Amino acid sequence: MDNESKQFLERLLTTPSPSGAEYDLQKKWIDYTRVFADTIETDTAGNVIACVNPDSSFKVMLAGHCDEIAFVVNYIDDDGFVYITKAGGINHKIALGMRVKILGKKGPVLGVFGVPAEHHGGAKDDIKIHEVYIDCGATSKDEILENISVGDYVIYDCDYDYMLNNRLVARGLDNRTGAFIVAEVLKNVAKANPKVGVYAVSTVNEETNMGGAYFASNSIQPTLGIACDVTFATDHPNVDQKEHGDVKLGGGPVLSKGAPINDLINDLLEKSASDTNIPVQYELTPRSTGTDADKIRLSGKGVPVALVSLPLRYMHSPVEEVSLDDIDKEIELLTKFILDLTGEENLKPVTV
């Protein structure tokens, strides 16, 4: 990964993008992709669609959702303590004692999730979402209401950092890494005159309703779609690989297998991986993928899809961890896959 690309990734990671309010990040994604995209469009859902070779009738849609999980202000008591609900699958139990930013109307407001001292019994093991609260240092409800209101988003106040062995840790790697990857793939194929149309989409709302991918796919009407998301790395303590599979950080991108996935696309991905000596791993999605691929597949008259995922540890926590080597391998794989396409591929599993 060159310095320009790394700086773009870091800009994404330092920009709040709670599900339903991804606007600031999308502006940065537009600024980056406009340099090499032939066309850029937005829609009323908040998606950004950048395209190379828009005149081709064979269309490849790459979807990476840019939204992150968050909390949302739900109630403010008379003493100025803030209570929250969830936007996406965020875990309130690990929030206790964490610093947060409330994205208020006048700018971010610093707060902390209050936690009872161990001397007073500590936190309950079964604490409920409505029992946790944020302390912003306010002394009254009126003081808080000068800065924030019900419906404001709350994100963890933590930055990205680099670890041993080319690892990256941050909140919201799920899935701002996906939005980064699809942009980088588009940048690569833009230099090589692809035979097919390539649509990189920074999708919204995946963590809450997946509407972004559905609306974008209905607009593009792709020949095939690939969701670029994250998946569970299982190479750390307290994970049963017999139950959850064997996926390692640094082991390469992960291909999904199961009923939603088009096997012919997977065959092409595997050939591209073999040709470039890129290792791939596998996960099973027998019923649904739980990603944008599900909505893309069900759009229009039906779209053949694949899911290419980045291994990630500690999903939906403030300390998500990925390998930069895996990111580079996924970008290389998808670039090779697209440039290998002739535009004549038949993706019907059964023909007559």
Q: How many CB atoms lie within 10 A of CB 150?
A: 12
Q: Is the pLDDT of residue 220 over 90?
A: yes
Give the whole-angstrom CA distance, residue 77 versus residue 73: 11
pLDDT for res 124: 83
Is 24 inside any structural domain? yes
Catalytic residue flag (residue 206): yes
Start-to-end CA distance of the chain, whole Å, equals: 45
Reported as a single tens digit per residue, the pLDDT across 156-188 is 999 999 999 999 999 999 999 999 999 999 999
Residues 52 and 196 in one domain: yes
Contacts of 211 (CB under 8 A, 6+ apart): 45, 204, 205, 295
Q: Yes or no: say if 82 and 111 are a contact pair by the CB < 8 Å rule.
A: yes
**Considering 95, 130, 156, which residue would you say is the last residue of a domain?**
156
**What pLDDT score was predicted for residue 119?**
83
**Claim to verify: residue 185 and residue 230 sit in the same structural domain:** yes
Question: What is the residue range of 240's domain?
Answer: 3-68+171-340
The answer as to whether 348 is a domain residue is no
Tell me the CATH number at 175. 3.40.630.10
Of the listed 206, 320, 321, 332, which one is catalytic? 206
Q: Mean pLDDT score of the chain, rounded to an integer?
A: 96
Report d(CA 352, CA 347) in Å as an integer.
13
pLDDT at site 118: 85
Domain identity same for 32 and 89: no
Given this model, what pLDDT does residue 121 score?
Answer: 75
Q: What pLDDT shows up at residue 125? A: 83
Q: What is the pLDDT of residue 117?
A: 80
Residues 105-145: pLDDT tens digits?
899 999 999 988 888 777 788 899 999 999 999 999 999 99
Per-residue pLDDT tens over the stretch 247-282: 999 999 999 999 999 999 999 999 999 999 999 999
Instruction: Indicate whether 184 and 311 sit together in one domain.
Output: yes
Q: How much is the pLDDT for 329?
A: 98
